[in-house]
Structure 1
Amino acid sequence: MSDKPLTDIAFSEFDLHPALLAGLEAAGFSRCTPIQALTLPVALAGRDVAGQAQTGTGKTLAFLIAVVNRLLTRPAMAERNPEDPRALILAPTRELAIQIHKDALKFADGLGLKFALVYGGVDYDKQRAQLQAGADVIIATPGRLIDYVRQHKVVSLHVCEICVLDEADRMFDLGFIKDIRFLLRRMPARTERQTLLFSATLSHRVLELAYEHMNEPEKLVVETETVTAARVRQKVFFPANEEKIPLLLGLLSRSEGARTMVFVNTKAWVEKVARALEKAGYRVGVLSGDVPQKKRETLLGRFQKGQLEILVATDVAARGLHIEGVSHVYNFDLPFDAEDYVHRIGRTARLGAEGDAISFACELYAMSLPDIEAYIEQKIPVEPVTPELLTALPRAPRPAPAAGGEAEAQESIGEIFREAREQRAADEQ
């Protein structure tokens, strides 16, 4: 854990349940990151928190510790049935919900608590049965959970004593705020439950939500000199549209072995870019709205294991994913929204590591650059597009995929998208 920006405050200094502390130590967590050191004294005391922190700072662990410790140290509400959840963690995307669930199991798997993961796109009946069987903690995206809440015999939130809203700003962006309010109204009153809200920005609309549905929340902000991670080396090129793929291939050939993500604005261009990279000999995965959820999870797992060298994605992957060791992020297209730029490049330089963020300001998307630079309060250094960079260097023989992944790693981009189209056609019937 030595690459994390840690404080001198140890988790053992807090009044944590002994089994929770043992689980943290076994998982390798001993000292707090700044957001954990700031929020845990308030959250562990049972008070509401509105926390602001950049992605990758450890806020997930902060709220998970608060949730788990509360459930282990306080009695449930008297009217609770065994199957009723005591805690709810809401996330804006499936990917983030899955990641929170994984993080929870790292240190809390053996503590006698049941965690249920609920999100759209997969296993409707299986998830419903899991909820009906009972869970102490539900980790969910709003839309799918509301489906089950409306079916009154599936799940009730009437004794849910602690609620976490993660990436609240993104909840607004994705239009989930009506859903959030629907769910909050089905929990105990705000004075009877604890609510923890986290957001990359505590904007006026996020604070309005906080003060409406929380009990005198303490506003906590991890101060940073800049909006973007300090250890990200940023640069921008100004290629013509037809130069973008040659430039990408040229730059990739000069950073061999780097774990890389490439962000593209449209699903159509995800496929075009991925095919070009595949043709150049790279092992490539894709994340977009067209790719079924189970396939996305498989591709993410292979990327994490090193079986895939590059992940090409739309903004579906820009938030919430914690993938170790991503050293290079390319904005093949500059995003329309400045906040999306911050979240994209936040996939690298996570928890104290260093990374490179390279952006292409082409004729189509260059107009986004002034807004991005105003938002991050800095000018991004400009690099020239030279004939040398438009020519890819010869690739060294690539290493074989990790053991056990050989057959999977040979699946082509064409096969992935053909399966996606077949799945979409089946869903529409």
Structure 2
Amino acid sequence: MRALHTVLSETASPGALNHKLVAHAVSAASSPQQALAKSKKGKKAKKQSAVAKKPASVSTSIDTDSQLGQSEASEPSTSNSDEFPTSTAASDDIITDISNQTSSETPPDTPSSSTPHEPSALARLCGRSVPDWLIRRAEDLGYGTPTGAQTEALPLALQGRDCVIHAQTGSGKTLTYLLPVLSGIDPKRSSVQAIVVVPTRELGIQVARVARQLAGKGKDQVADEEAANTKKLKSGKIQVMALLDGAGGNRQKIWLKADPPHLVVGTPDRIHKMIEYRNLRTNGLKFIVVDEFDAYPAATRTTGSLNKLLTVDSEAGARQTIFASATVPQHNRAVTELVKNKWARNDLVHVHVDPIQHVPKFLDHRYLVCEGDDKIKSLQKLVERDQPSAAIIFAHDLTERNKRTGETPSVEAVAEALSEGQPEALQPLLLQENARVQKRASIVQEFREGNRRLLVATDLAARGLDLPEVSHVYNFDLPLDATSYVHRAGRTARKPIAGTKGTVTCLVSSKEVFALKRLLNAIRVEGEEIDDT
């Protein structure tokens, strides 16, 4: 369905909403001249006899560039000693550099090709607004076919418009805002030019990974996310740094002052502290992206660190601001407030992709009615019957009732029950807020790599995490509202181009059936009742 664009002001030029697709022109290198070939033919024959008489001298050239996998085939790999330098400047930041290339140049780590090829749909959509090397990198990562959200929002973002990207989970919003940001950064300027704000450390690590991949760092080059977060990775000029909870603040300060990154990904409080202590300067800021912008508490949005970043530390008129989320409650009012609070310019555009369909159409919604102690047993039977390739089981964390009675939180009880009698490889991972941040990061990475196929988690895992192999989501505890349901359900069915199905199952008591149906009605889907036999 065509996106609904809500323009809050008509101050933009008439051509500002032009959605034309611009074709990508690729030229082929000409072949050698035939006359030159003929002139060399005689010389080659004369040399053959002389070469035969001389002792054979063999010069062997060894190609040390190895493939990084299908998505990173064009980039040479480096040894650990090169990628993680042990010089005086070890850092806790994810920092990545890419080559300074214009749209007509070829980056040094990408072999030039003399064979003409048909431009991808993404290349035609972006036209000359995105450099060729960045288009090729996106294509190598499998993003050659744009999603509906990208088709609608990219032309606007590439024109420099402030916009709200309001699209379903798994629709490619991260790529939609990273392409304009990476295209607009000037690597020759040693200053922070873009900030991406995220609500959680887990989402921040993921966004930094995608930026690193687009910048030329493949996922296979950095096996351990925490290791990547403690080193400075250099291969060119554009630097990406993650300012996340749990990283070494002192070393972050040193790097921010000595060699400012061009792109910073971080949580609001961490970014604000670095600005407050004058370690991070915003005078060269060109972009601010607020990902999952409806997830921030009201206090943070109005008087907290996020509000200060958007209104005090920088001005809306001097930058491009992009907001992204799958859910924007009371979106007309929310968009109006963004302008009113001076978070964005007056010509802010609301790109609402498929406003009728709140969740991906490839999702199946089910529910199972079970009571009390039977709930755990029913969950075990469902998991055994469904045989998910990977699954996330959502449950509540410590509640006030748990605190009063001393009961084990639901999320821990579920993880413990599913672990009983299972070998270590089949035991679920547990992700919750009170775990150490380094432990949380290693859990997500282990689940992402497929070492375990079950993850028991709180709503900490509900927003933004891109885990394409997740086939099933189980709500052991009912989500608090429709927004939570949408984000939990959005951890599966994350391959919109392939149309891979996902399944969401809620385990509810007979008293909760009405509340569940109200949630489903709010997002305009129907749930099928099943049993565990």
- TM class by shorter chain equals 0.7 to 0.9
Label 1:86 to 1:186 Cα distance change in 2 as closer, same or farther (>3 A): farther
Gaps of 5+ in 1: 2-7, 77-81, 390-429
CA distance in 2, matches of 1:52, 1:108: 25
Q: What's 1:273 paired with?
A: 414
Matched, 1:67 2:214: no
- How many angstroms does 1:94 deviate by? 1.3
Are 2:509 and 1:362 equivalent residues in the alignment?
Answer: yes
* 1:110-259 pair list within 5 angstroms: 112-133=237-258, 134-152=260-278, 154-172=279-297, 175-178=300-303, 179-202=305-328, 203-212=331-340, 213-215=343-345, 216-256=347-387, 258-259=389-390
Separation in structure 1 between the aligned mates of residue 249 and residue 488 of structure 2, nearest angstrom: 30
* Contact preservation (8 Å) 2:122, 2:135: no
**1:161-188: per-residue Cα shift (whole Å, max 9, x none)?**
1111111111246844432210012444
In structure 2, how many angstroms separate the alpha carbons of the residues matched to 1:186 and 1:128? 21
What is the aligned counterpart of 1:10 among 122, 134, 139?
122
**Secondary structure of 1:51 counterpart:** strand
Q: Answer yes or no: is 1:376 the counterpart of 2:514.
A: no
Residue in 1 that maps onto 2:195: 88
Question: Which segment drifts farther, 110-119 or 343-352?
Answer: 110-119
Deviation at 1:68, TM superposition (A): 0.4
Secondary structure, counterpart of 1:10 in structure 2: helix
Which amino acid is 2:123 matched to? Answer: F
What amino acid maps onto 1:137 in structure 2?
A: L
Tell me the amino acid that sits aligned with residue 324 of structure 2.
F
Distance 2:457 2:174 in 1: 23
Give the Cα–Cα distance (whole angstroms) in 1 for the partners of residues 335 and 388 of structure 2.
43
1:288 aligns with 2:413: no
Specify which of 184, 205, 227 is matched with residue 98 of structure 1. 205
- Asked which structure has the greater CA Rg, the reply is 2
CA distance in 2, matches of 1:140, 1:362: 40
Cα distance in 2, alignment partners of residues 146 and 321 from structure 1: 24
* Contact 1:158 1:186 (8 Å CA) reproduced: no
Residue identity in the other structure for 1:87: A
**What displacement does 1:273 show?**
0.7
Deviation per CA, 1:7-48: give whole Å up to 9, x if none: x83224421112222322333322211111111111111121
Distance in 2 between residues matched to 1:204 and 1:124, nearest whole Å? 39
| 231-240 or 25-34: bigger deviation | 25-34
SS at match of 2:385: coil
Assess, with a 3 A threshold, how the Cα gap between structure 1 residues 363 and 242 changes in structure 2: closer, same or farther: farther
Question: Which of 14, 39, 42 is the aligned partner of 2:156?
Answer: 42
- Partner SS, residue 356 of structure 1: strand
Which of 484, 492, 495 is 1:348 aligned to? 492
Q: 1: CA distance between counterparts of 2:437 and 2:510? A: 33
Q: Say whether the 8 Å CA contact 1:116–1:130 is kept in structure 2.
A: no
Q: Give distance in 1, aligned partners of 2:529 and 2:388.
A: 24
Give distance in 1, aligned partners of 2:333 and 2:205: 26
Q: Which runs of 5+ in 2 are unaligned?
A: 1-69, 71-119, 217-234, 399-408
Q: Percent identity?
A: 28
Q: Distance in 1 between matches of 2:336 and 2:253?
A: 33
Distance 1:175 1:375 in 2: 27
Amino acid at match of 2:202: E
The amino acid of 1:319's aligned partner reads R
Inter-CA distance 173–102: structure 2 relative to 1 (3 Å threshold): farther
> Which amino acid in structure 2 is aligned with residue 272 of structure 1?
A
Aligned length: 373
2:176 aligned with 1:53: no
Q: Deviations over 1:355-392 (max 9, x none)?
A: 1111011267556314312311233121235xxx3xxx
User: Which aligned pairs between 1:289-308 and structure 2 lie closer than 5 A?
Assistant: 289-308=433-452
Amino acid at match of 1:29: Y
Match of 1:330 in 2: 474
- Give the C-alpha shift of residue 233 in structure 1: 0.9
Structure-1 separation of matches of 2:525 and 2:286: 43
The amino acid across from 1:381 in the alignment is E
Q: Which stretches of structure 1, 4 residues or more, deviate above 6 A after TM superposition?
A: none
Is the CA contact (8 Å cut-off) linking 1:338 and 1:368 kept in structure 2? no
Q: Which moved more, 1:213-222 or 1:340-349?
A: 213-222
Partner Cα separation in structure 2 for residue 10 and residue 183 of structure 1: 32
Is residue 157–residue 180 contact of structure 2 (8 Å, CA) maintained in 1?
Answer: yes
After superposition, give the CA deviation of every residue in 1:305-331 in whole Å (9 maximum; x if it has no partner). Answer: 221120000001100111121001000
For 1:269, the aligned partner's letter is S
Letter in 2 for 1:163: I
CA distance in 2, matches of 1:288, 1:173: 23
> 8 Å contact 1:258–1:326 — kept in the other structure?
yes
Contact between 1:50 and 1:210, CA under 8 Å: does it hold in 2? no
TM-score by length of 2: 0.66
Tell whether the 8 Å contact from 2:327 to 2:483 is kept in structure 1 after alignment: no
Q: Using a 3 Å threshold, how does the CA distance of structure 1 residues 205 and 329 change in structure 2: closer, same or farther? A: same
Structure 1 residues 42 and 111, CA gap change in structure 2 (3 angstroms) = farther
- Tell me how far 1:132 sits from its aligned partner: 2.6
